Structure formats: C-alpha cells, structure tokens
Amino acid sequence: MGDDGVKNEAMEILGLFQVLPRLVVFDLDYTLWPFYCECRSKREMPSLYPHAKGILYALEEKGVDIAIASRSPTPDIANTFLEKLGVKSKFVSQECLPLYQKL
C-alpha cells in the first residue's frame, strides 16, 4: 500500500472520531523509522516505516498538529534525516535533544 492508500485508510479511521487531539507528538527512532540515528551516517538515505508518511499526511489534513520529541546522542543526524525525507516542515515543533544534555 502506497502513501496515498495509507493516508486514505488513516483518514477513514480518524473520521470515526468526533473529537481529535490538537497535537500528536512522535519519537523518531523505532517510531517513525526502523533504526537508531547513532548507528547511521548523515551520508545515508534514511527511510520511514512504510505507513509513517501516510499517517503524517492524514493527521495534517485532519487539522491535527504533529511534533517531534526525541533524545539522541546524534540529534544532528536526526535533523538531517528529517530534511532528506522531506518531512521536517510538517512538524509544528521539533525537539531533538542530545541524549546526555542536562535539563
């Protein structure tokens, strides 16, 4: 099933609910893509899980904001991958924090 098929299926499921959340927040590693960023190189071309992009598009079309909250020892790689995948601009907020950053 391609992105459009997944999006249509997600739209159908979301249509079953009278009230949707205003915001959905995603982690990155093993949530949107099937790997840990620290095990990859910026030079690689990443891939999302097969259904991820369609779901993101459906949420966006239904007016649900989407954001990222993720911790990683390599937030620079995570940001590069979001750019390469063409989805970075879809998120209203992006917090990719270094794994060992003091709060």
Catalytic machinery residues: 27, 29
- From first CA to last CA, the distance across the chain in angstroms is 42
Angle between helices 52-61 and 3-14 (to 10 degrees): 50
Query: Phi then psi for 68, rounded to 5 degrees?
Result: -125, 135
